């Protein structure tokens, strides 16, 4: 390109000259690190640093106050025989099993239905997402009230002559406490999944749907044979996120039941908090946290392994 | 433009950064505390600033600032108190984290004698013996109070309040039906049966909001069925918690829950919140409520709404092993001086002033119905305008402790592991998931572990 090709609008500007390739290669590759440094430092201080410190403290008898002493694998040996920890892990696995099914199925259905309507789509999307943005303490207080036999839905139904909820203590019955906590958490979580899956569904090329219709597919066949395969990467991401967050679940269990009654809804996160701050066993709590991290890493590891083996997930 | 940064370089860089962060975190976790603190100075000449963390909230905050901050600064104009408010329930956790990092307030607040042991063992607190001797603190506190703040013979904390468990009752209901206030097990059980037959829940109770409500029942049964003597022996290691007296005490309370005398049943106990408890008692849906000195503000409010009257009576004697009346000593808050403090004399001046200016303390008590410090109180200390129930409550507590008629609350005298066991596993007993024998065996195991770790707080002997 020469100066003669410049238009009148470009008159007065310095003519562009392409830089030779050898000059590009000499530019420092560390320039982008300078821009990444603030975020990297933040992550090191807030995330990576404490994470590495947790690994260290897991092998000590640290109380949280006194200098730690190295005790090898004693904390992990204790975990093997700690019935309370085993019970909490089982509760977390139940949590994960529920959250991998009910909210995901509801979110897929909700998102698919949203793609099929044109009117009030934004309204429904907002209503689905609203519980997710309300702070968990508020959500928990609302559900505590709703589930209270003396004040909530049971009392209102009873005033109408419907008594079948009167003797059902959702948060006070050790058989119902954990499912109730999981249900409340799912009620706040599924709307977030709807938004994620809806975005993925809207990215699906309409040509595939047209082709399917031409082949005689109905709506559900479109969903199973076009939509689901097309959103598989997003769905896999959602499932992995759900597993990880199920192992990290804390706030709703703590707000609603504090792990009770009688440990019926105890989760590893609550148990870990108890050992760290009430029992002054921060080293043991670190070992607990590290064990849960290992579970999560194992899940992600399986996913990465299968992807490398060519599985399309 | 192609980047020369490969994945290997990125991973190496991140690993180095993470290791540095880990080293920094590990190195900074425990600051050097080997310095010998300077000798105690004259608190009357103290000056400067002191940092205080408080969890006082709501309506009590203005009274706290008036009577515990402004009044002190008026008496000690050279000292400025910087108060930082922390959410209730998080103060202790934040204090622990800050102290471990070499930070935190000058005045360290803990939830009671059982918690200061950890701080003292970690060398985070300043010994107070010199200040106590120089300022005659033993004369300004009840005889047992100074002992409660000692760890291995050294004074580290002063109690900021004292409290006990009693039975609050709907006086209007009792007078209407002619119910007597029980003093022993037989009369208590007769009353419970009579109330239940009349469709009234004998005891309003619930731990939906605060799981540790369960330990109040453990305290009640150990001290008023097994008896304070046996409880003292078990706390000091002279007797096992598997003694039949403690097993039977758990069996009895389990029976009371099974009969529906407490909260109307186990599942209702797990779902009942404090507001429902107070309303049930104030409206006459429940006859009694077993709770502590901290309930006066709430009961005043709810009974004012219902227009009925309430009173309190000591916990009945549930077996021949107990005495009546006996009041279980609880200390909800202690104050200590941080070893990191730049102004220990200033903090000591604040603690000393609290013990000396009884007028400010009683005005705060009158305003808020809070518990006073464990100082020798008489009727003259309580103005006529003060809640007469509260006045009689603390006068009775002072009188009983002076005569040695007191027991031991789990949140004050139990070490952390055994305390946590009582809170969590009581629920298992009343839910039929654990037998009283299993509870006692587990309690003994937890207590033994704590004893081996040196976590048992100083147990005050019961002497007149």
Q: What is the pLDDT of residue A220?
A: 85
A283: which chain B residues are within 8 Å (Cβ-Cβ)?
Answer: none
CA-nearest of A199, A187, A213 to A121 is A199
Q: Which of A29, A30, A48 sits opposite B18 (nearest CB)?
A: A48
Q: Which of A33, A144, A280 sits opposite B416 (nearest CB)?
A: A280
A window 120-179, beta carbon within 8 A of B:
144, 147-151, 169-174
| Band of pLDDT at residue B161, cut at 50, 70 and 90 | very high
CA A206 to chain CA centroid, nearest Å: 30
Tens digits of per-residue pLDDT, B298-309? 999 999 999 999
CA-nearest of B327, B39, B311 to B181 is B311
Q: Do residues B325 and B249 touch, judged by C-beta distance below 8 A?
A: no
Residue of chain B nearest A144, judged by CA positions: B271
Residue of chain A nearest B90, judged by CA positions: A277
A39: which chain B residues are within 8 Å (Cβ-Cβ)?
Answer: none
CB contact under 8 A, A44 and B17: yes
The rounded distance, in Å, linking the Cα atoms of A210 and A222 is 10
Average pLDDT over every residue of B32-49: 72
User: What is the average pLDDT value for chain A, to the nearest integer?
Assistant: 88
Higher pLDDT, B382 or B24: B382
Tens digits of per-residue pLDDT, B442-454? 999 999 999 998 8
| Band of pLDDT at residue B216, cut at 50, 70 and 90 | very high
Q: What is the pLDDT of residue A18?
A: 62
pLDDT at position B21 over 90: no
The rounded distance, in Å, linking the Cα atoms of B290 and B188 is 13
**In angstroms, how far is the first alpha carbon of chain B from the final one?**
87
Q: Which of B25, B123, B276 sits opposite A150 (nearest CB)?
A: B276
Q: What is the pLDDT of residue A2?
A: 44
Q: What is the pLDDT of residue A212?
A: 93
CA-nearest of B125, B58, B26 to B351 is B125
| Band of pLDDT at residue A20, cut at 50, 70 and 90 | low
Distance from CA of A16 to the nearest CA of B (A): 18
For an interface test with B, the pick among A32, A169, A274 (most B C-beta atoms closer than 10 Å) comes out as: A169
CB contact under 8 A, A56 and B26: yes
pLDDT at position A118 over 90: no
ipTM of the complex: 0.83
Average pLDDT over every residue of A274-293: 94
B310-313 and B334-337 beta bridge pairing: unpaired
Q: Which of B25, B96, B100 sits opposite A49 (nearest CB)?
A: B25
- Secondary structure (3-state) at B167: strand
Helix, strand and coil content of chain A, in percent to the nearest 5, comes to 70, 0, 30
Distance from CA of A212 to the nearest CA of B (A): 42
Q: Which of A50, A66, A171 sits opposite B121 (nearest CB)?
A: A66
| Band of pLDDT at residue B11, cut at 50, 70 and 90 | low
Tens digits of per-residue pLDDT, A48-75? 898 999 999 999 999 988 889 999 999 9
Residue of chain A nearest B428, judged by CA positions: A262
| Band of pLDDT at residue A22, cut at 50, 70 and 90 | low
Distance from CA of A172 to the nearest CA of B (A): 5
> E strands along B258-376, which residues?
286-292, 310-313, 327-329, 334-337
Count how many pairs of residues, chain A against chain B, have C-beta atoms within 8 Å.
127
Q: What is the pLDDT of residue B114?
A: 87
CB contact under 8 A, A53 and B208: no
CB contact under 8 A, A63 and B427: no
Percent of chain A with pLDDT over 90: 60
How many CA atoms lie within 13 Å of B312's alpha carbon, on the beta-carbon side? 28
Q: What is the pLDDT of residue A307?
A: 81
| Band of pLDDT at residue A258, cut at 50, 70 and 90 | very high
CB contact under 8 A, A261 and B14: no
Please give the structure tokens belonging to residue B203. 């005891």
CB contact under 8 A, A172 and B17: no
Contacts of the segment B299-302: beta carbons below 8 A, 24+ positions apart: B299/B168, B300/B369, B300/B387, B302/B278
Average pLDDT over every residue of B185-201: 98
pLDDT at position A312 over 70: no
pLDDT at position A146 over 80: yes
Q: What is the pLDDT of residue A32?
A: 83
Q: Which of B92, B97, B420 sits opposite A274 (nearest CB)?
A: B420
Q: What is the pLDDT of residue B2?
A: 44
Q: What is the pLDDT of residue B257?
A: 98
pLDDT at position A203 over 60: yes
Tens digits of per-residue pLDDT, B58-81? 888 999 999 999 999 999 999 999
CA-nearest of B15, B19, B3 to A33 is B3
Residue of chain A nearest B264, judged by CA positions: A167
Q: What is the pLDDT of residue B276?
A: 94
| Band of pLDDT at residue B318, cut at 50, 70 and 90 | very high
A63 touches chain B (CB under 8 A): yes
- Start-end of H helices in B286-337: 296-306
Distance from CA of B1 to the nearest CA of A (A): 7
CB contact under 8 A, A173 and B431: no
Please give the structure tokens belonging to residue A2. 């020469």
pLDDT at position B33 over 60: no
Average pLDDT over every residue of B355-379: 92
């Amino acid at each position: 390109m020469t100066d003669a090709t410049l238009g009148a609008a470009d008159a007065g500007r310095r003519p562009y000259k392409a830089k030779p390739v050898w000059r590009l290669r000499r530019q420092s590759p560390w320039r982008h690190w300078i821009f990444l440094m603030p975020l990297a430092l933040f992550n090191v201080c807030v995330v990576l640093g404490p994470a590495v410190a947790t690994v260290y403290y897991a092998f000590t008898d640290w109380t949280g106050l006194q200098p730690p002493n190295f005790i090898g694998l004693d904390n992990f040996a204790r975990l093997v025989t700690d019935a309370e920890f085993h019970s909490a892990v089982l509760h977390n696995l139940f949590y994960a099993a529920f959250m991998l099914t009910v909210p995901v199925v509801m979110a897929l259905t909700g998102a698919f239905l949203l793609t099929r309507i044109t009117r009030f789509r934004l309204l429904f999307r907002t209503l689905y997402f609203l519980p997710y943005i309300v702070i968990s303490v508020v959500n928990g207080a609302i559900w505590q009230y709703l589930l209270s036999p003396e004040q909530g839905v049971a009392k209102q139904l009873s005033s109408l002559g419907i008594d079948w909820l009167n003797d059902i203590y959702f948060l006070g019955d050790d058989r119902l406490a954990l499912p109730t906590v999981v249900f409340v958490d799912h009620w706040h979580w599924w709307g977030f999944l709807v938004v994620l899956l809806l975005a993925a569904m809207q990215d699906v090329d309409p040509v595939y749907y047209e082709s399917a219709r031409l082949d005689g597919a109905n709506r559900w066949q479109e969903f199973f044979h076009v939509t689901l395969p097309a959103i598989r990467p997003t769905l896999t991401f959602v499932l992995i996120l759900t597993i990880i967050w199920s192992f990290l679940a804390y706030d709703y269990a703590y707000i609603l039941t504090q792990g009770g009654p009688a440990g019926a809804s105890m989760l590893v996160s609550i148990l870990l908090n108890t050992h760290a701050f009430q029992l002054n066993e921060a080293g043991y709590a670190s070992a607990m946290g590290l064990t849960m991290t290992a579970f999560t890493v194992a899940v992600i590891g399986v996913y990465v392994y299968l992807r490398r083996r060519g599985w399309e997930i | 433009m192609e980047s020369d940064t490969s994945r290997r370089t990125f991973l190496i860089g991140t690993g180095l950064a993470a290791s540095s962060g880990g080293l920094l975190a590990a190195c900074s976790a425990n600051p050097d505390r080997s310095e010998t603190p300077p000798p105690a100075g004259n608190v009357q000449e103290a000056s400067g600033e002191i940092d205080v963390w408080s969890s006082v909230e709501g309506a009590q905050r203005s009274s706290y600032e008036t009577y515990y901050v402004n009044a002190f600064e008026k008496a000690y104009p050279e000292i400025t108190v910087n108060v930082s408010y922390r959410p209730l329930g998080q103060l202790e956790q934040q204090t622990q984290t800050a102290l471990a990092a070499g930070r935190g307030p000058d005045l360290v607040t803990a939830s009671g004698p059982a918690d200061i042991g950890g701080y003292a063992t970690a060398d985070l607190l300043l010994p107070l013996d010199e200040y106590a001797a120089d300022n005659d603190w033993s004369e300004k506190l009840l005889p047992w109070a100074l002992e409660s703040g000692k760890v291995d013979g050294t004074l580290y904390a002063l109690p900021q309040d004292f409290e006990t468990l009693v039975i609050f009752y709907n006086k209007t209901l009792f007078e209407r039906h002619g119910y007597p206030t029980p003093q022993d097990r037989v009369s208590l059980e007769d009353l419970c049966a009579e109330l239940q037959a009349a469709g009234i829940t004998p005891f309003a109770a619930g731990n939906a909001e605060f799981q540790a409500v369960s330990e109040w029942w453990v305290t009640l049964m150990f001290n008023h069925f097994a008896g304070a003597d046996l409880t003292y022996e078990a706390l000091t290691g002279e007797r096992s918690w598997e003694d039949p007296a403690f097993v039977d005490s758990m069996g009895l309370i389990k029976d009371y829950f099974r009969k529906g005398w407490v909260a109307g049943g186990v599942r209702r106990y797990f779902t009942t919140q404090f507001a429902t408890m107070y309303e049930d008692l104030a409206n006459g849906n429940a006859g009694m409520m077993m709770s502590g000195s901290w309930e006066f503000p709430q009961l005043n409010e709810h009974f004012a709404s219902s227009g009925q009257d309430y009173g309190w009576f000591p916990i009945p004697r549930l077996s021949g092993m107990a005495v009546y009346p006996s009041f279980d000593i609880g200390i909800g808050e202690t104050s200590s001086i941080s070893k990191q403090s730049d102004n220990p004399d200033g903090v000591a001046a604040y603690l000393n002033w609290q013990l000396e200016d009884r007028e400010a303390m009683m005005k705060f008590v009158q305003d808020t119905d809070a518990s006073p410090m464990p100082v020798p109180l008489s009727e003259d200390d309580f103005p006529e305008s003060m809640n007469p129930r509260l006045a009689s409550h603390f006068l009775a507590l002072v009188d009983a402790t002076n005569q040695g008629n007191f027991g031991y609350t789990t949140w004050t005298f139990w070490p952390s592991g055994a305390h946590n066991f009582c809170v969590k596993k009581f629920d298992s007993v009343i839910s039929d998931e654990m037998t009283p024998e299993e509870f006692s065996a587990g309690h003994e195991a937890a207590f033994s572990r704590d004893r081996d770790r040196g976590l048992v707080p100083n147990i005050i002997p019961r002497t007149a």
